[in-house]
Structures are given as structure tokens and as C-alpha cells.
Amino acid sequence: MTDLDLTAPHTGSESRPQRIGVLGGTFDPVHIGHLRGALEVVEALALDELRLMPNARPPHRGTPQVSAQDRLAMVECAVAGLPPLVVDARELQRDKPSWTIDTLESLRAEMPAETQVFLLLGWDAFCGLPTWHRWEELLQHCHILVLQRPDADSEPPDALRNLLAARSVSDPLALKGPSGQIAFVWQTPLAVSATQIRQLLASGKSVRFLVPDAVLAYIDAHGLYRASN
């Protein structure tokens, strides 16, 4: 009898398909709401990997306050040494708006068809889904996991009510197959936003404990978000 290697990564040749999470964002800057939510989803759904994906040109908002390179560097600082959280910088290589459908198509082209892909969206982002580029095709490529946001108050638009009625399952662990369903996931409610963090920094206040220490050190070292920027 051979010993089992519990540290061995899944290779794809095992019976269970890989389970990959994707959390896209502007990350201007990344904060504990993103990171704690990501970690809790990894553990609750036994994901093999969760990719944090900073966008280059956010499709539905103004230009970020700091450069894509700084936003990427902060995400890298935040997840350094914390597998299975990893950074995927593919959106920074595309010189057009960072449409999620393009990202999912490029991801899918690299994976076996049976890989389960879970797109994480905060409730506010989920409510905006019907305005996204080719939004009705998204579920062909992924499942959607909706993260609660305690500071969000928007009601889902009618188009989403219909989609939820057709595609949602109550237990995220019951999501079957590579794509096509929606589930809500419980997470520790953290009413923190990048907007709040930018405002605190611009007014000379501390953001300690709202971002990881390594991100705070990066912000300080590069003088980001302070009133003079």
C-alpha cells in the first residue's frame, strides 16, 4: 500500500474536475472585503484555485485613480504566499475595455471542458449584469457566485429576477457541471469599499486593518491616494 500525498495538486487526470474561481475587480485598491470573501469562498466550495483579476479598463466606471501596474502590484502583495489565491493579469494585456466575456473565453480556451469555473460577483456588480457586454452568454462559460455586500441596497432588475428563477440553486455546493448556474454564498459581512479607502487616504486618515499590511506598505512607499496625487 502506498502513502497518499495530501499536498499533491489536482492534475486533471483525477476523477474530480478542477474547480477554479475568478474574482475580477478594479482593485483601486484591493481590500479585506475582496480578500476575506475570496478566502471564504475557496474554503466553502473547496476550490483548487481562486484567481484575482485586475481589470485594465473598467467597462462601467471612470478611469481608476492609480495605474494598472500599481493596482496589480497591490493585488500581488495581498496574496503573496497565500495559495490558492493567485493573481491573473490577462486583462492587462488587452488594449480594450475589460469585458468579462472575453476573459472567460480566453480562460476556457486553456482548460479542459469539464473544469468548473466560478465567477465571483459582489451583489452590486451582480445587479448591474444586464448592462454588461454579451451578458447573456456569461453562464455558458461559468457558474456565478454572488457575494453579499452589507452596504449594498440595490434591488435586482427584472431581467435578473427571471434569470434567477431559471438558474439559481440554494446551495452553492449543489452547483453541478462546468457552468450555467447561480448561487448566493454567505460570507462574513464586511462593509468596506475601495471608495472609502481612497477617501480616508485623501483626508490623511489611516486605512490600517482595512487592507493587508503589505498593501499599506505599498501605498505608503509609492505615495498613492494622498491628497497631493
Site string for ligand NCN, 53-82 (x = CB under 6 A): --x--xxxx---------------------
Site string for ligand ATP, 94-123 (x = CB under 6 A): ---------------------------xx-
Site string for ligand ATP, 161-190 (x = CB under 6 A): -----------------------------x
Nearer to ligand NCN, 27 or 184 (CB): 27
Nearer to ligand ATP, 121 or 175 (CB): 121
H/E stretch holding 37: helix 32-45
For residue 212, how many other CB atoms are within 10 A of its CB? 20
* Residue 34 touches ligand ATP, criterion: CB under 6 A: yes
Which residue sits closest to ligand ATP, CB atoms considered?
122
Inter-residue contact 34 to 71 (CB < 8 Å) = no
Nearer to ligand ATP, 190 or 211 (CB): 190
* Residue 125 touches ligand NCN, criterion: CB under 6 A: yes
How many Å apart are CA 61 and CA 184, to the nearest integer?
A: 25
How many Å apart are CA 7 and CA 17, to the nearest integer?
A: 17
Q: Closest approach of Cβ 22 to ligand NCN, in Å?
A: 8
How many Å apart are CA 181 and CA 177, to the nearest integer?
A: 9
Burial class of residue 25 (count of CB atoms within 10 Å of its CB; 0-12, 13-18, 19+): buried
Residues 110-125: b if buried by 16+ CB within 10 A, e if exposed: eeeeebbbbbbbbbeb
Binders of ligand NCN among 133-152, rule CB under 6 A? Answer: 133
Q: Closest approach of Cβ 205 to ligand ATP, in Å?
A: 16
Q: List the one residue out of 125, 130, 120, 127 whose CA is nearest residue 175.
A: 120
The SS3 of residue 209 is coil
Binding region for ligand NCN (CB under 6 A): 24-26, 55, 58-61, 98-101, 125, 132-133
Binding region for ligand ATP (CB under 6 A): 25-28, 33-34, 37, 121-122, 124-125, 147, 149, 190, 192-195
